[in-house]
A and B are shown apart, each in its own frame.
Chain A
Amino acid sequence: MSYKIAIASTDEKWIDESFGSAKRFLIYEMTEDGYHKLEERIVNPGSNYSAQSGCKSDSGCESDSGCGTGSGCGGNQAASEKVLLVSDCRCIVCKKIGFNVRKQLERKAISSFDVELSIDEALEKISFYYSKIDKHQSLRGLRKE
């Protein structure tokens, strides 16, 4: 089973960006034979990472600071453009991620992992984890393998 993973990284080596500040996402494809980089998706500079129906105006939460918690609780709002950009991925890996964005992703059944690791290490761990659960195998000893 192949699937995609979106990673927020500036140098293509380390996961070093938060979801909110990421200007692009690296998309990796995971197949039976391993993983490879598929493409890069550039975040539209005009887009707002908070929900589309939220503050679209020039003022307000245009800034890159924070990580997706721009517009209050945002609970029932539609997904932001940034979320839609990666909505075909199985999971998102970034340095930090805000509560609202995490909820938006969860609603689309996308997992988010906020870790600071090398891309290779993260991909290996994630692929091992998914391979186990896809085959309905026990996660016993996940750390040791």
Chain B
Amino acid sequence: MAKLLDKQRYKCALGAMQTVQAISRAIPILHSGPGCAQKLSDSIGSSGYFSPNIFPCTSINEKDVVFGGVKKLETTIENALKVIDADLYVVLTGCIPEIVGDDTGEVVSHFEDAKKPVLYASTAGFKGNNYRGHEQVIDAIIEQYLEKTDEKEEGLVNLWADVPYQDLFWLGNIRELENLLKEIGLKPNTIFGYQRGLENIKTIPKAQFNLLVSPWVSVGNMKKMERKLGIPYLHYPTLPIGAFETSKFLREVGKFAGVDDQKVSKVIDDHENYYYYLIERYADLFLETRVMAKQFSVVADAQYALAITKFLVNDLGLVPAKQFVTDDTPKQFREAIRKEFENLNYGLKAEVAFETDSYKIHQEIKEHDYHGYPLILGSYYEKELAEELFGHYLNISWPVQDKVVLDDFYVGYTGGIRLIEDIYSVAVQRWN
């Protein structure tokens, strides 16, 4: 459990209300104090049909602490069902009702026969951050809604990647991953974003397998689905950015799904040809040594720290300094992630620190010799630091304050090119 309040890089588990919001026509019902949703909502694409300002909330106060808030919860759910036209209602608990012991699960069980599904996920802040909250919501869907089926659809793959809203590029990324899977002949099924909702959730049990693209978030969900629904899973720990990783990703997925090798190779070749055509055209820029920093550091969650490190080394040939993983990664996953950081091309290895203390991170970056100005990809907190060090800086992880992303993405071949464009735009601005 992290101890810091300063420069937080994630939210409490109740931040999973954004995971619910990312499912079309699903709405969270909050059993929490009145300020929670306000504090947790970002203005990064969370307005619309449902927004944090209208999430039903029990707004519990001192009275509910002393005498219990279950009655209020019951009426809040009842009325939410009456006045809000949604497909799925997910009750999320904050810290207070969980500490004093409101039996939320029992109240939610009264709504088993409601016309619309009402689920419950325990997302008390003391149980972890919003990465864990995200897992809790998906667990709730698996445990309380999905049923095992023998009816399987050939080639259907449930695709899981980023944590919605926590990751700036979640929407664009998942769509691009879908496109890549479609190209090798698979039928991807995702539950987040535009036109993805309850129908997609209902489709989950029919899938041939689950595909998780993330170093650790949702590994537990995959295991749960394997146990309950009998769906095997492929865990691909690196978000594929750029040609090297994306081709590797497609080959591995193709092999797991039993797709014809030649078909996969054809897709890869087509993409790589165009990708390297672009790289070649700009080779003079990439080879101009003054433009780019000699070494780089990424300060981000495990997903992005790993993905971008691999991309910058394998595709752009940059040299990694120390990398910082800031998502409070559970201990049992750290060793495997560390190994991934050591598995880079050209025999390179990147040192990685699992650190949530921004002071220590900034101190280490300041003390490291980058052999010139550094390239720092991180959250908004690194902006000032980069300015101080006269480094190149790109905001790629939460919190994001100087970038607007609607459906842009960094994943895949095209995403790699986008990231190159962004990084080199920063670099050339210095010289022009």
A contacts, CB < 8 Å to B: 111-115, 117, 122, 125-126, 129, 138-144
Task: Say whether B67 contacts A117, CB under 8 Å.
Answer: yes
- A110 CB to closest chain B CB, in angstroms? 11
CA distance A142 to B96 in the complex (A): 11
CB nearest to A111 among chain B residues: B62
Task: Say whether B63 contacts A140, CB under 8 Å.
Answer: no
Which residue from A112, A115, A122, A142 sits with its C-beta under 8 Å from B101?
A142
- A41 CB to closest chain B CB, in angstroms? 22
Task: Say whether B100 contacts A115, CB under 8 Å.
Answer: no
Task: Say whether A139 contacts B99, CB under 8 Å.
Answer: yes
19 A–B contacts from the bound complex (CB under 8 Å) = A111-B62, A111-B63, A113-B67, A115-B63, A125-B67, A129-B65, A129-B66, A138-B99, A139-B100, A140-B99, A140-B100, A140-B101, A141-B100, A141-B101, A142-B65, A142-B66, A142-B100, A143-B102, A144-B101
For chain B, the bracket of interface size reads 10 to 19
Q: Could you mark each residue 57-89 of chain B with 1 if its beta carbon is under 8 Å from any beta carbon of chain A, else 0?
A: 000001101111000000000000000000000
CA distance A144 to B68 in the complex (A): 11
7 smallest beta-carbon distances between A and B, as pairs = A143-B101, A142-B100, A129-B66, A113-B63, A139-B100, A141-B101, A140-B99
Contacts of A142 in B (CB 8 A): 65-66, 99-101
- B99 CB to closest chain A CB, in angstroms? 5
CA distance A115 to B72 in the complex (A): 12
B contacts, CB < 8 Å to A: 62-63, 65-68, 99-103
CB nearest to B126 among chain A residues: A140
Task: Say whether B68 contacts A114, CB under 8 Å.
Answer: no
Task: Say whether A139 contacts B63, CB under 8 Å.
Answer: no
**Which of A122, A126, A129 has the largest number of chain B CB atoms within 10 A?**
A129
Task: Say whether B66 contacts A126, CB under 8 Å.
Answer: yes
Contacts of A111 in B (CB 8 A): 62-63
CA distance A113 to B100 in the complex (A): 17
Contacts of B102 in A (CB 8 A): 143
CB nearest to A121 among chain B residues: B67
CB nearest to A128 among chain B residues: B66
Task: Say whether B66 contacts A143, CB under 8 Å.
Answer: no
Contacts of B99 in A (CB 8 A): 138-140, 142
Task: Say whether B68 contacts A143, CB under 8 Å.
Answer: yes
Contacts of A140 in B (CB 8 A): 99-101
CA distance A122 to B100 in the complex (A): 16
CA distance A12 to B62 in the complex (A): 24
Extra pairs beyond A112-B63, A126-B66, A143-B103 (20, CB < 8 Å): A111-B62, A113-B62, A113-B63, A113-B66, A113-B67, A114-B63, A115-B63, A115-B67, A125-B66, A129-B65, A139-B65, A139-B99, A140-B100, A141-B100, A141-B101, A142-B99, A142-B100, A143-B68, A143-B100, A144-B101
CA distance A112 to B65 in the complex (A): 13
CA distance A125 to B102 in the complex (A): 14
**Which of B62, B67, B100 has the largest number of chain A CB atoms within 10 A?**
B67
CB nearest to A141 among chain B residues: B101
- B165 CB to closest chain A CB, in angstroms? 30
Contacts of A112 in B (CB 8 A): 63
Contacts of A129 in B (CB 8 A): 65-66
Contacts of B66 in A (CB 8 A): 113, 125-126, 129, 142
CA distance A113 to B65 in the complex (A): 11
- A73 CB to closest chain B CB, in angstroms? 20
CB nearest to A130 among chain B residues: B66
- A62 CB to closest chain B CB, in angstroms? 29
CB nearest to B68 among chain A residues: A143
CB nearest to B70 among chain A residues: A143
CB nearest to B67 among chain A residues: A115
Contacts of A117 in B (CB 8 A): 67
- B10 CB to closest chain A CB, in angstroms? 24
CA distance A99 to B276 in the complex (A): 68
Contacts of B62 in A (CB 8 A): 111, 113
Contacts of B101 in A (CB 8 A): 140-144
- B1 CB to closest chain A CB, in angstroms? 15
- A120 CB to closest chain B CB, in angstroms? 14
Contacts of B67 in A (CB 8 A): 113, 115, 117, 122, 125
- B73 CB to closest chain A CB, in angstroms? 13
CA distance A143 to B101 in the complex (A): 6
CA distance A143 to B67 in the complex (A): 8
- A57 CB to closest chain B CB, in angstroms? 34
CA distance A44 to B65 in the complex (A): 33
CA distance A144 to B65 in the complex (A): 13
CA distance A125 to B67 in the complex (A): 7
CA distance A29 to B66 in the complex (A): 18
CA distance A101 to B260 in the complex (A): 74
- B103 CB to closest chain A CB, in angstroms? 8
Contacts of A122 in B (CB 8 A): 67
